[in-house]
Amino acid sequence: MDLSTSLTLVRPELILSFSSLALLLIAAWRQDAGRLVSILSVAALVGAGVTSAQFLAAGTDATAFDGLYRADAFSSFAKILIYIAAAVALVIAPKALEKMGAMRAEYPVLVVLAAVGMGIMVSASDLLTLYIGLELNSLAAYVLASFARNDGRSAEAGLKYFVLGALASGILLFGMSLLYGFTGSTSFETIGQAMAGEIGTGLLFGLVFVLSGLAFKISAAPFHMWTPDVYEGAPTPVTAFFASAPKVAATALLIRVTIEAFGSQAQAWQQIVMVVALMSIVIGAVGAIGQQNLKRLLAYSSINNIGFLLIGLAAGTEQGISAMLVYLAIYVAMTLGGFICLMQLKGRDGEMKEGMADIAGLSKTQPLLAAAFAVFMFSLAGIPPLFGFWGKLVVFNAAIEAGMFPLAVIGIAASVIGAFYYLKVVKTMYFDEPADAVDASDDKVLSWSGGALALAVSPLGYLAIPALTAVTAQAAGALF
Amino acid sequence: MNAAELPILSIMLAVPMLGAIACLFVRDEMARVLALGATLLNLVLGIWLWASYDPAGAQWQFVESAQLFGPIGWKLGIDGISLLLIMLSVFLMPICIGASWRSITERVGLYMASFLLMETLMIGVFAAQDLLLFYIMFEAGLIPMYLIIGIWGGKDRIYASYKFFLYTLLGSVFMLLAMLWMIQQAGTADIPTLLNHDFPAEAQTILWLAFFASFAVKMPMWPVHTWLPDAHVQAPTAGSVILAGVLLKMGGYGFLRFSLPMFPEASAQFIWLIFGLSMVAVVYTSLVALVQDDMKKLIAYSSVAHMAIVTVGLFTFNQQGIEGAIIVMLSHGLVSGALFLCVGVIYDRLHTREISRYGGLSINMPKYALFFMLFTMASVGLPGTSGFVGEFLSLAGAYKVSTWATLIATTGIILGAGYMLYLYRRIAFGEQVNADAAAMPDLDKRELWLLAPIAAAVLWMGVYPESFLAPIRRDVATIVDRIERAAPAGDSKLKENDKTTAKYRVHAHGGEHQNKAEGAAH
């Protein structure tokens, strides 16, 4: 395959890479150009998203660079989600970061670089590409976590994220080296072929280590410990970013590795995925109950949601994967919405509020904000008629179809435990007396984007089901 | 003009929905008027619906179908059973709004919006013809009810609202899994099609249990009834009315629409469970009701006892029993709603639900005492009121299946008379020991307007039940036909050739039983 065809296929990454380099130059000379760079970055993300959408519409399914990189419907769908989430994270950030004195021009550049890494992750069809993408994303993310450099908590979050992330990367690399050693290749396809039939302990170890490393990246239990601390410490716009785009990328990567590389050994990883899924659901639900900090609560909520996502993977069927993609799309909308609501909690002195006590009686002082937050909470809990219910439904449907009844029953029973803490947030906002700790936010961008997302996860979202089903089916079909 | 020419069910769903959205954005006074207007409009539409309903026509009428939401079909349609339950909902809603006219002064817009949303969801539950649509409507009701109990409830409202939400949610999620399996197995989510789909007998057992988990909690059956007294006591008056009046009926409706016709074999297999739990419920909750000091709690426990009669009636597998169960559901919807309103009337004046704080109200509140007496009697099941017709029919039906279960369930009527009359005596009769209670004014015009329509309906149903039996007769017969193959053998044997009893029997032609039973009701 010649270079020009390969370059056409990596167009989204090219657009983002070159724009990030150019924007870095602007940032180097104009330190105060944060907003300008943000706008240009969003434009670059939109451009890359449009390219991916073109690929998706054209049904592109090809490999580039001699099998290192794959452009198919699956990667295009995941990229669109990633770029949208990253763009939203950029749009909502400036005012909040300015308040912290952290709105520097590097912020959008780092987000774009992370998006490049994530794009490579979801397109990787070789362990090497996988690792490059993962590290590009992670390194940008470590810096982003500690972006509010005057804030001790933020620095701590960055350091923690870095140390634990490096550990996870080590585990992943170790697993990859085992896979390479026992199969003689780093390409997913060849590994898949080599794994057919009986596999030895060495390969099994490789598989377990790779899955553990990836479980860390998606913050699935029992590799979730970093999540609450990093989410709490990082500046809220950054947390919103962490909870959305990288989750999509890491999940998509996990799907591709398990299906394409380990597809022939489904029974070997299905048990692992099942246990991880149920542990995440339960730990995410139980851990959140006592939280007094809303960012930590949302962190546990993301662990909980990853558990539900993994139920689709445990099913291991095409329908399960398509259900995961539906869930991911809805999850991104819900979680971004939740964080946007959180960012609008502005204290009397203009500082950001994030405690459970601060939202007491919010429905009396700021009814619209409280209503939007309640919509996101009920939706995350999967209560119909909100759109989050549909995500849970398709995932459980896939598990039922695959005949995994115990998994479905335990998972859905545990979702009731999860409902408790979402209800607690609603209770605090609606049933308690106003704490009067929060002022009306003056950030119009946040109100509009939060309102739009609330409408998207409201019952109106059901109108998107036919389109969403078709696109995710196409994307999942590319893997099988 | 016939209502079938319009998408009448969608309109009835849309009216309260739009009203709810509008209520959120207007001032308190306007929200009240708007809510009352929307519910009254829906009542008018409901009456039109009933007038256009043809009991001899197709089984499913006013059918609508649209593919808006992919796998979730927007399929609506009603049979006679749904029709009557929709009527019950639209009839009680304006009364609920009226009951909250003055007692709710905080966040009126949100309150009215929650109630209107409840109305949409209730109609949706009874009209849904798609399994997933049904589930969404069934579950979505948790959110407004959670808010109603939690925001405008009593002292322990937060505990009660959590308990209500989590209990019902836990019951329902298993039903969702069962539904997903059924949809995959049968290849459709269309309820009329599923009603004639035969699921394998071994699968039926599991499916039945999954549905049972949901409906038993909603119903509520002993021992999962404990959320009900808490929710009732803490909810505002109108919340209790709608909870007892309509929400509890969703459990019975679910048994009737899903458990029985879709899993007849499993239903027959679990008859012992239903009868056993119902017998315990009747006796136990009636005894608990006897010792309550709190009026609302007493009526809540009596609801559990009445609902146990419903479950006994539903699982008799015969026409009489099922018709009776439906009439008990309708009657209990009206009567318990009215009783909660009666409690609300005096609660608004004295702000306590403690029975001993009242006494001798028939002296200073004669009109109130009259209405309260009527509803007490209807709750007891006095002939001439709605309670009698339903309870008699369901127990008569139950007698054919199990004489022992009937014997014990019938004690519920005696015990019911015990606790209801005891309640009435302590409140309306006797010395006027409390000066403040003795000074309370009688019903005002608004309260009269709330109670009078229910009283009229209760008497109508008691004196001429045929109006309510006619729309459901054919639909119940369809269900009975469907489940007949699994019907258990009863332990009461008719002596066909015994001369001494022959003269009491009406011989012949279809529908003899209900004629006999109705004859008794007249």
Q: For the segment A202-219, what is each residue's pLDDT rounded down to a tens digit?
A: 888 999 999 999 999 999
Judge contact between A468 and A396, C-beta under 8 A.
Answer: no
C-alpha span between A159 and B434 (Å, rounded): 71
In percent, the amount of chain A with pLDDT more than 90 equals 57
**Averaged pLDDT for residues B79-100:** 91
- Residue A13 corresponds to which amino acid? E
User: Is A8 within a domain?
Assistant: no
Write down how long chain A is: 480
Residue A46 confidence (pLDDT) above 90 = yes
Residue A410 forms contact with B (CB below 8 Å): no
- Which one-letter DSSP state was computed for residue B242? H
Contacts of A249 (CB under 8 A, 6+ apart): A78, A82, A117, A118, A119, A121, A122, A133, A137
**B456 vs B493, which has greater pLDDT?**
B456
**Phi/psi of residue A155, each to 5°?**
-60, -40
Q: Among the residues of A218-365, which ranges form H helices?
A: 226-233, 236-256, 266-289, 294-315, 318-343, 362-365
Question: Taking CB atoms and an 8 Å cut-off, how many pairs form between chains A and B?
Answer: 84
Task: Name the minimum distance, in Å, from the CA of A330 to any CA of chain B.
Answer: 15
Residue B105 confidence (pLDDT) above 80 = yes
**Averaged pLDDT for residues B210-221:** 90
Question: Do you find a cis peptide bond into A222, omega within 30 degrees of 0?
Answer: yes
The answer to whether A416 contacts B68, with C-beta atoms less than 8 Å apart, is: no
User: Is A316 within a domain?
Assistant: yes
Question: Which residue of A367, A409, A463 is in closest CB contact with B69?
Answer: A463
Q: Which residues of A touch B125 (CB under 8 A)?
A: none
User: Is A433 within a domain?
Assistant: yes
User: Is A479 within a domain?
Assistant: yes
Residue A22 confidence (pLDDT) above 90 = yes
Q: Which residues of B touch A431 (CB under 8 A)?
A: 150-151, 157-158, 161
B178 to chain A: closest CA residue: A400
A218-251, pLDDT tens digit by residue?
999 888 889 999 999 999 999 999 999 999 999 9
Residue A142, H or E segment: helix A127-145
Look up the pTM and report it: 0.91
Judge contact between B333 and B444, C-beta under 8 A.
Answer: no
The sign of the dihedral angle between the CA atoms of B414, B417, B423, B428 is negative
- Mean pLDDT for chain A overall: 90
User: Is A373 within a domain?
Assistant: yes
Residue A25 forms contact with B (CB below 8 Å): no
Residue B519 burial by CB count (10 A; 0-12/13-18/19+): exposed, middle or buried? exposed
The sign of the dihedral angle between the CA atoms of B266, B271, B273, B277 is positive
Looking at A5-19, A216-230, A389-403, B352-366, which range is the least confident one? B352-366
B339-380, pLDDT tens digit by residue?
999 998 888 888 888 888 888 888 888 888 999 999 999 998
Other beta carbons within 10 Å of A286: 16
* ipTM score of complex: 0.91
With tokens 């009731």, the residue in question is A416
Q: How confident is the model at residue B501 (pLDDT cuts 50, 70, 90)?
A: low
pLDDT at B511: 46
Judge contact between B63 and B4, C-beta under 8 A.
Answer: no
**Averaged pLDDT for residues B173-197:** 89
Q: How confident is the model at residue B497 (pLDDT cuts 50, 70, 90)?
A: low
Q: How confident is the model at residue A378 (pLDDT cuts 50, 70, 90)?
A: very high
Task: Name the minimum distance, in Å, from the CA of A118 to any CA of chain B.
Answer: 31
Residue A399's domain comprises: 263-480
Question: Which residue of A400, A427, A465 is in closest CB contact with B180?
Answer: A400
Other beta carbons within 10 Å of B415: 19
pLDDT at A20: 92
The answer to whether A427 contacts B161, with C-beta atoms less than 8 Å apart, is: yes
C-alpha span between A89 and A339 (Å, rounded): 10
Tokens at A70, concatenated:
């794959």
Report chain B residues touching chain A, CB-CB < 8 A. 67-72, 107, 110, 132, 135-137, 139-140, 142-143, 146-147, 150-151, 157-158, 161-162, 165-166, 169-170, 173-174, 176-177, 180-181, 184
- Residue A313 corresponds to which amino acid? L
The answer to whether B135 contacts A384, with C-beta atoms less than 8 Å apart, is: yes
pLDDT at A439: 79
What do you get for the CA distance between the two ends of chain B, in Å? 33
Residue B515 confidence (pLDDT) above 50 = no
**B385 vs B438, which has greater pLDDT?**
B385
The answer to whether A465 contacts B166, with C-beta atoms less than 8 Å apart, is: no
B430: region left, alpha or beta (phi > 0 left; psi from -120 to 50 alpha): left
pLDDT at A167: 93
Q: At what angle do helices B386-401 and B295-314 cross, to 10 degrees?
A: 40
The answer to whether B173 contacts A420, with C-beta atoms less than 8 Å apart, is: no
Q: How confident is the model at residue A1 (pLDDT cuts 50, 70, 90)?
A: low
Other beta carbons within 10 Å of A229: 18
Count how many domains chain A has: 1
Residue A329 confidence (pLDDT) above 90 = yes
Looking at A30-34, A92-96, A471-475, B191-195, which range is the least confident one? A30-34
Interface with chain A: mutation pick from B143, B152, B157, highest number of A CBs within 10 Å: B143
Residue B114 confidence (pLDDT) above 70 = yes
C-alpha span between A112 and A18 (Å, rounded): 10
Residue A430 forms contact with B (CB below 8 Å): yes
Other beta carbons within 10 Å of B452: 12
Residue A174 forms contact with B (CB below 8 Å): no
The answer to whether A423 contacts B165, with C-beta atoms less than 8 Å apart, is: yes
H helices, E strands: number in chain B: 26, 2
With tokens 């579950």, the residue in question is B139
User: Is A233 within a domain?
Assistant: no
C-alpha span between B438 and B421 (Å, rounded): 20
User: Is A211 within a domain?
Assistant: no
Q: How confident is the model at residue B499 (pLDDT cuts 50, 70, 90)?
A: low
SS3 label, residue A187: strand
Q: What is the pairing mode between strands A69-71 and A346-347?
A: unpaired
Question: Do you find a cis peptide bond into B7, omega within 30 degrees of 0?
Answer: no
- Residue B241 corresponds to which amino acid? V
pLDDT at A373: 92
Looking at A147-161, B83-97, B235-249, B501-515, which range is the least confident one? B501-515
Residue A82 confidence (pLDDT) above 90 = yes
**Averaged pLDDT for residues A36-41:** 90
User: Is A142 within a domain?
Assistant: no
Q: What are the DSSP E strand ranges found in B192-254?
A: none
Residue B520 confidence (pLDDT) above 60 = no
The answer to whether A465 contacts B173, with C-beta atoms less than 8 Å apart, is: no
- Mean pLDDT for chain B overall: 87
Residue A96 confidence (pLDDT) above 90 = no
Report which of A257, A246, A22 is spatially closest to residue A117, judged by C-alpha positions: A246
Contacts of A426 (CB under 8 A, 6+ apart): A374, A377, A378, B146
B206 to chain A: closest CA residue: A405
Interface with chain A: mutation pick from B165, B182, B227, highest number of A CBs within 10 Å: B165
B176 to chain A: closest CA residue: A393
Question: Which residue of A383, A393, A466 is in closest CB contact with B143?
Answer: A383
CA triple A139-A144-A145, angle to 5 deg: 100
Q: Spell out the domain ranges in chain B.
A: 270-522
pLDDT at B504: 59
The answer to whether B170 contacts A413, with C-beta atoms less than 8 Å apart, is: yes
Other beta carbons within 10 Å of B205: 16
